[in-house]
Structure 1
Amino acid sequence: MNRTIRSLILVSCLALTQGCTALGRSNSFTLTADLPPEFTYEATAVYVPAKGEACTVPGGRNTQIGYNSDREDYKQDSEILLRRTVSGCPLVLHRVDFYVYGWYGKDRGDFGRDSAMIAVREELPEARKGTFNAAGLSEFAGQCQFLFRTSGGLRRIVKILDCKRMDESGVQPKAKPFVAYTLDQLPGKTVTLKIKQADEERPYMKDTWIKVPGGWKRCMGKGFEDQYAFCYGNYKDFSTFRMPDGRDYCTIYPGCTENKEVTP
């Protein structure tokens, strides 16, 4: 084999290797999250037929891919495919649906969760596109707050998670964390969901807890069998409750302390 042919083969092999690597980068982006301690996320990538395609996927079941569905195997980064072919049908990424989980206890159900979303379209007005810096990084932000309530005959504390979009102007009370990109913006890039936890928790339902020095006291209502137990102006009769960690006969949340001074 002469030197010219050998050189051509080496160049071709190198081009093939680099081409495969580039192809991999061009068909995915990295999804990651900057979350508070004891928070995780679960993401589902949703696909639709590519523009101009009339095909369908039988049952539609294979048009979704889930990431981080198991807390025990949680990983901060997920590699999201932009294009797939299922049952011979070319698909493109349409959106990524999130669940943000905030864990507050050791029991399997001791979590609150709320949603967020990345929308992906072939085209978007410039004003609606998410932006990337020179390093190919982009982020969208939200603030999550725990809302506490009691459940069951022992009035055990359980919590709901409420997440809102954050932008330069602050927290948007009627919007979930959201961002949108075009398909051609995403290859090889990194998108970060950045969540801040609110400094304080608040009651899930109004007129069920009363603010006191050091925290909140739970109105008794008609008794422990009264699951709603609204205060209805009774700021003298309060109940005990159980903390997620098992502490019983607590009277002040969140410290599980005693305090008789009540300020309606």
Structure 2
Amino acid sequence: MPIFSSQQKFLLKLSAVSCSIALITGCANNQRDTFTFTADLPPNFAYQAVAVYVPAKSETCTVPGGRNTEVGYNMKWRESYTPNSEIPMYRRVSGCPLVIWKIDLEINSSYGKQRGDFSGDFATVVIRDEVESKYRSTFDETGESVFYGQCQWLFRTSGKPRILRKILDCKSTDANGELDRGHPFSAYTLSQLPGKTVKMKITLAEVERPAIGDTWVKVPDGWKRCMGDNFEDQYAFCFGNHKDFSSFKMVDGRVCTIYPGCTE
């Protein structure tokens, strides 16, 4: 067993006390000044979040140009993604005390291997000093609040080769999956959030549908693309012609006549 001098023992005790104080203070600050945002998403989905801050109540200061009043999370979601984001409730920028105002969310997913083969839709978390009870989300006994949504892939063709593209459409739902109006959304008061967890839970609809009406015809094995006036017709509405169809190209280069199976 090592032998310490009286001075060494004093320094060790001082260090231990300092660490304990730091831990306690850190926990207190965490409980007081931050909350966690997280998401339960379908496979190959990710979210981006931008926390937006404004001058705190009764403050008359401003931030020049509004610079540095937003903080991003998972902005490079393709390279690095984490579902949990610890979000400060208060910041000070250019000497101005700021408070969180909202979180702008983007729900993203890729449908191909190229960088442009992705789509996203938005969701919002609103934070105010006061929120009407009918709009205010609540927390359970564990300190977690969940809001829900469902995303659906919409497909269309683009360009002269009629390349298949997908659009992600996300709507709000209740806890049972019943579709609601608008995009996924929740609202909280500032006093609700310290030390709590806000979770966005998104499901993916099993069925895809055309992004534009009267451009595809449903057949037993999927969907067939209407020809329109000719292959160069970028709109190519069916207009009742359910006999003349065109091929289209998948993002992986396959030339297909039916979606999603490609070949009939």
Both structures adopt the same fold (TM-score exceeding 0.5) = yes
Residue type matched to 2:237 in 1? F
Q: Deviations over 1:52-104 (max 9, x none)?
A: 10000000021101111112111111111110000000000000001101211
Q: Say if 1:246 and 1:10 are closer, same or farther in 2 by CA, change over 3 A.
A: closer
Residue 109 in 1 paired to residue 111 in 2? no
What is the alpha-carbon root mean square deviation over aligned residues?
A: 2.1
Name the residue aligned to 2:188: 181
Q: Structure 2 matches for 1:70-219, cutoff 5 A?
A: 70=76, 71-168=78-175, 170-172=177-179, 174-219=181-226
C-alpha distance in 2, partners of 1:100/1:213? 32
Residue 254 in structure 1 maps to residue 260 in structure 2:
yes
Please give the residue correspondences for 1:12-91 in structure 2 after superposition, counting only pairs within 5 Å.
14-15=20-21, 17-70=23-76, 71-91=78-98
d(CA) in 2 for partners of 1:232 and 1:128? 43
Are the equivalent residues in 1 in contact too, given 2:171–2:182 (CA < 8 A)? yes
Confirm or deny: 8 A CA contact 2:149 2:172 kept in the other structure. Answer: yes
What secondary structure is seen at the aligned counterpart in 1 of 2:26? helix
Letter paired with 2:65:
G
Secondary structure, aligned partner of 1:128: coil
Structure 1: 5+ residue stretches without partners: 2-6, 259-264
Paired amino acid for 2:54: V
Report the AA paired with residue 75 of structure 2.
Answer: S
TM-score of the pair, normalised by structure 1: 0.90
**Could you tell me how far 1:126 is from its partner in structure 2?**
2.8
2:252 maps to which of 240, 245, 251: 245
Percent identity over the alignment is 58
Residue 72 of structure 1: SS of its match in structure 2? coil
Partner Cα separation in structure 2 for residue 227 and residue 173 of structure 1: 33
SS, match of residue 141 in structure 2: coil
Report the residue type matching 1:40 in the other structure: A
1:10 to partner: Cα distance: 7.6
8 Å contact from structure 1 (residues 142, 171) kept in 2: no
TM-score (norm 2): 0.90
Name the counterpart of 1:4: none
Give the stretch that moved more between structures: 212-221 or 29-38.
29-38
Q: CA deviation at 1:230?
A: 0.2
Residue in 2 that maps onto 1:261: none
Q: Report the more deviating stretch, 52-61 or 7-16.
A: 7-16
Is the alpha carbon distance of 1:16 and 1:240 closer, same or farther for their aligned partners in structure 2, counting shifts above 3 Å? closer
2: CA distance between counterparts of 1:9 and 1:73?
36
Q: Size of the alignment, in residue pairs?
A: 253
Long gaps (5+) in structure 2: 1-5, 7-12
Paired AA for residue 92 in structure 2 = T
SS of aligned partner of 1:236: coil
